[in-house]
Amino acid sequence: MTGVKEAIFISGEKKDRTVIHIISDSVGETAELVARAAASQFDGGRVEIRGVPYVQNPEEIPGIVEMASAANGIIAYTLVMPALKEVLIREAKRHNIIAVDIMGPMLDALSLAEGTSPKLEPGLVRKMDDEYFRKVEAIEFAVKYDDGKDPRGIMRADIVVIGISRTSKTPLCMYLAHKRIKAANVPLVPEVAPPEELFKLPSHKIVGLTIKPHQLNEIRTERLKTLGLTSDADYASINRIIKELEYAQDIMRKVGCHVIDATNKAVEETASKVMELYYRGERNK
């Protein structure tokens, strides 16, 4: 049958077999999984599953149903668009072929339970998968470009977080990654010049973190203890902390970024402010 798009998922025996035609307005993976599970309860080698994905024009359906009828098969479908379902049901009755609605009963049940109508938009599961993979990509990005490991990440990041040591740059970047925002962070140390890439970014893509000296003193003192070091190291001294904060403030002024005081703030609170700044900047581009 010319003009009919068809992809064979499973090849079975060529004789004495049942052919299940999967018709979907998206990929058809849901119906295929159900068909595979059902076929496993019988002689699976005698069942052939053929996929006809991305059916979005009602005019395609008569030819597909005719093909299924010629193969003495059955149809399993996941069509969320009412116009497609109506044509399929009509054509299946005309050819006296069994057509099983895989998704319809569940959509009806959820409609009753939720008290609302479904979106009737094909491929939403795949869109959810895309969201997941974007999150994974953002997490991998945050790990790769953590703590200024590779300045090349600065130009690729959605957001660059800068600040001195122990201002929660890494936890913030990881939290943003779970929101699918690619975040890199750069530590600011008086003895080390910031990477040149930092000064090439638009200011709305940079966020500076600061903190009150005495809280940072407590955080760094605890950090030294966990490392088995004495708390009187210069790293935790108030004078050193003030020097670092002043240096960081000077860099933040030069890049013109927004500065967030992370004192006594949970990472979620800081991230909420960063996301607000990020999306505002995206809208104003």
Q: Select from 205, 199, 206, 197 the least CA-distant residue to 155.
A: 197
Reported as type and span, the H/E element at residue 208 is strand 206-210
Grouping H, G, I as helix, E, B as strand and the rest as coil, residue 257 is coil
- Please report, in tens digits, the pLDDT of each residue of the chain (285 residues total): 334 444 434 333 344 678 899 998 877 878 888 888 888 887 656 788 888 888 888 898 999 999 889 888 899 998 888 889 899 999 999 999 999 988 878 777 878 877 877 666 655 555 555 677 888 899 999 999 999 989 999 999 999 999 999 999 999 999 999 989 999 999 999 999 999 999 999 999 999 999 999 999 999 999 998 888 887 789 999 999 999 999 999 999 999 999 999 999 999 999 999 999 988 876 566
Token pair of 175 as six digits: 């939290």
The hierarchical CATH code for the domain 7-122 is 3.40.50.2300
Place of tokens 């890199």: 184
Question: Domain spans of the chain?
Answer: 7-122, 125-283
125-283 topology per CATH: Rossmann fold (3.40.50)
Fold match, 7-122 / 125-283: yes
